[in-house]
């Protein structure tokens, strides 16, 4: 009977095998719409890369570009002509001073007589830094104020030494200022400095030590701005320039 029961069970139908524990489930194929979307994305990415490379090649062939540039100007520094007490100080921040204008006095320390020596402005400009403190003692040569003539500002662009051979005086320059993103300015190359910026820094790089690392140097280029359009361009503003090679 036991044998017949086993035979009857086998005859009654096939027995399903138990699933193997830990086996990976079958991978479902991607939908047709998903495959199309992936293909489209890949094609767009390739086309975008090609366009970007083409634009870069064209830009490099026509322009020397850099964003290592700032609005700049010639500093007019007011120094103490002698040692003594600062009195009658007038070169406050934002004030316009005129060439040879008396902007303060130094009371020279002495006995009964304390003469005063006038402090004169070396040029016409607007004060941007005021270090003078009324009644303070200052030594001869102390920097009391820094001023700029905003009518004579320019751009200082630092061009990589590998590109400086393509820069010449008189070339046209496209200028954009970060502070005024919707405005376009033009200018011309006025001067190319005869040395790398690092040579004139307070701590020039030297290769006398054993850990010298070669880096690309930059050459300062002075660019005259054709028209400021009445906007308040002040020294220190970040600038991007494109110097036309033609």
Residue-level pLDDT, tens digit, the chain, 246 residues = 444 444 444 444 444 545 555 555 667 777 778 888 888 898 899 888 888 887 777 666 688 999 999 999 999 999 999 999 999 999 999 999 999 999 999 999 876 778 999 999 999 999 999 999 999 999 999 999 999 999 899 999 999 999 899 999 999 999 999 999 989 999 999 999 877 766 555 555 555 556 667 778 899 999 999 999 999 999 999 999 999 987
Q: What is the pLDDT of residue 113?
A: 78
Smallest CA-to-CA distance from 77 within 141, 153, 156, 155 is with: 141
Q: What is the pLDDT of residue 238?
A: 97
Q: What is the pLDDT of residue 222?
A: 96
DSSP string over the chain? -HHHHHHHHHHT-PPPPPPPTTPPPPPPPPPHHHHHHHHHHHHHHHHHHHHHHHHHHHHHHHEEEEEEEEEE--EEEEE-SSSEEEES----TT-EE-TT-EEEEEE---SS---EEEEE-SSSEEEEEE---TT-EE-TT-EEEEEE-GGG-EEEEEEETTTGGG--TT-EEEEEETTEEEEEEEEEEEEE-SS-GGGGSSS-----STT------EEEEEEEES--TT----TT-EEEEEEE--
Smallest CA-to-CA distance from 67 within 244, 214, 238 is with: 238
Structure-token match 């090609």, residue found: 50
């Amino acid at each position: 009977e036991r044998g017949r029961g086993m035979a009857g069970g086998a005859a009654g139908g096939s027995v399903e095998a138990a699933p193997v524990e830990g086996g990976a489930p079958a991978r479902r194929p991607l939908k047709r719409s998903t495959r199309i979307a992936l293909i489209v994305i890949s094609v767009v990415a390739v086309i975008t890369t090609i366009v970007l490379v083409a634009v870069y090649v064209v830009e490099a062939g026509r322009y020397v570009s850099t964003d290592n540039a700032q609005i700049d100007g010639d500093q007019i520094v007011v120094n103490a002509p002698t040692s003594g007490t600062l009195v009658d100080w007038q070169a406050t921040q934002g004030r316009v001073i005129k060439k040879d204008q008396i902007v303060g006095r130094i009371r020279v320390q002495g006995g009964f007589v304390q003469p005063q020596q006038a402090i004169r402005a070396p040029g016409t400009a607007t004060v941007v830094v005021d270090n003078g403190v009324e009644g303070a003692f200052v030594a001869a040569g102390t920097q009391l104020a820094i001023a700029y003539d905003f009518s004579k500002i320019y751009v200082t662009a630092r061009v990589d030494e590998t590109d400086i051979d393509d820069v010449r005086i008189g070339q046209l320059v496209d200028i954009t200022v970060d502070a005024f993103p919707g405005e376009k300015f033009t200018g011309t190359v006025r001067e190319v400095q005869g040395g790398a910026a690092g040579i004139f820094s307070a701590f020039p790089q030297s290769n006398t030590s054993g850990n010298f690392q070669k880096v690309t140097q930059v050459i300062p280029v002075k660019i005259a701005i054709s028209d400021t359009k009445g906007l308040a361009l002040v020294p220190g503003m970040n600038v991007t320039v494109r110097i036309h090679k033609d």
